[in-house]
Amino acid sequence: MVSTASCGAQFQNRVTIIFFIAAIQIFTEAFLARFESDGKVVSSSSIEEKIIMPADRKQRLNVIIAFAMVYVLWGSTFLAIRVLVSHVPPTIMGTTRFLAAGPIMLAICAVMGKKIAITRRDFLLLGAIGILLLSGGNVVVGWAEISVPSGLAALILAVTPIWVAIVEAWILKSDRLSRRGLIGLAFGSAGLIILMWPKLMATDALGRKQLMATIALILASLSWTLGSILSRRTKVSIGPFAATGWEMTIAGTFNLLLAIMLGDLHQGTWTPSALWAVGYLITGGSLLGFTAYIWLLDHVPTAKVATYAYVNPIVAVILGVVVLHEKLDGYILAGSAVIIAGVILVTTSKVKAGEASQPEMKKPELAACEAGADD
């Protein structure tokens, strides 16, 4: 059996070093680009012009590196979480990760001269979004990964775009899905049933525990869905980087209070593997991955950036099998294929404005895969 420390060392050597230098470059350029535009999001027409014009070699390389960062850094957070929660409670994971990443991001914004002061309304909105995404989403995922493989967790979280479509279309009635989108919803639901089937049929204690963890993952994806929709439908007085910094900071504080209430504060052991894992989640998942994501939104059409929704779970499953030697059975293979097909159909389908449709808020948000994952 491969030890957690050994897995952490292997993963650090094979992934982190490859992207570290390139990540710093993308990180710097993303902030400079955002700050030079005074927080304004590049219009879709200007993005199209950039894509149509012949790109130089450096620009093409930057796009490739940024996509690789989003795919690998966010896809690998599920593995890092699996390693971390084997040493410390999930609440401590959520506390250390976001109470480090949030203030760092706010500090960078302040150094760059961007506004970080928020109003009481901003605080309440960003707090609600942060808790839904990074407490109800991230911490619950950490708890579930104590019992279920990281790849399975990523696949269940991958249905978040489908939940978003359901809430937008049938509850908020802001958008109506096309036939393609409805087929995607059916695929996603069927894929979830396939993934859960062995747990539903299990009668032993381990099977029931894994079933509870799987249900918790579904609830985590719903929490992420609500946070994503709230983020998209609200406006705050600061830019996206500062807003994300506040969301992380407030959620990290909430996670700390939760850890105190549950008696988790002095639980667990900070082994070298655990320290590496939390460091990777702070830098790779929360800082570099999110920065690359926003950089891509300014340089590549949104539809292409959205491919992370079905690439990240694949990355997570592969890393879980290769690094942690997680079992890959027929149910996971079939369920993952059906779910990813459903996500592709939903994310590429056209929507029609509904009764309560509102103008789209061009506001970047953490991706669902970063709840684990990601974002």
Question: pLDDT tens across 75-129, in order?
Answer: 999 999 999 999 999 999 999 999 999 999 999 999 999 999 999 999 999 999 9
Task: Identify whether the C-beta of residue 192 lies closer than 8 Å to the C-beta of residue 163.
Answer: no
In sequence order, the β-bridge partners of residue 290 are none
Q: How much of the chain exceeds pLDDT 90, in percent?
A: 34
Residue 250 clears pLDDT 80, i.e. is over it = yes
Structure tokens at 208: 């029931």
Helices (H) then strands (E): counts for the chain: 19, 2
Structure tokens at 293: 């994501």
* CA-wise closest residue to 218 among 193, 246, 236: 193
Residue 272 clears pLDDT 60, i.e. is over it = yes
Band of residue 49 on the pLDDT scale cut at 50, 70, 90? very low
Concatenate the DSSP letters of all residues of 169-233 into one string: IIIS-SEEE-HHHHHHHHHHHHHHHHHHHHHHH--SHHHHHHHHHHHHHHHHHHHHHHHHHHHHH
pLDDT at site 352:
56
Higher-scoring residue by pLDDT: 349, 78: 78
| C-alpha to C-alpha distance for 328 and 310, rounded to whole angstroms | 18
Residue 345 clears pLDDT 60, i.e. is over it = yes
Of 50-54, 182-186, 206-210, 355-359, highest mean pLDDT: 182-186
Average pLDDT over residues 260-265: 94
* Calculated CA dihedral for residues 277, 91, 217, 182, nearest 10 degrees: -90
pLDDT at site 90:
96
Band of residue 45 on the pLDDT scale cut at 50, 70, 90? very low
Q: Measured between alpha carbons, how far is residue 64 from residues 59, 240, 342 in Å?
A: 9, 23, 26
Q: How much of the chain exceeds pLDDT 70, in percent?
A: 77
pTM: 0.77
Q: Measured between alpha carbons, how far is residue 21 from residues 189, 277, 312, 322 in Å?
A: 40, 19, 22, 24
pLDDT at site 234:
86
Give per-residue pLDDT as tens, 274-313: 999 999 999 988 888 888 887 887 777 766 777 787 788 8
Band of residue 353 on the pLDDT scale cut at 50, 70, 90? low
Q: What domain range is 189 assigned to?
A: 4-371
How many domains in the chain?
1
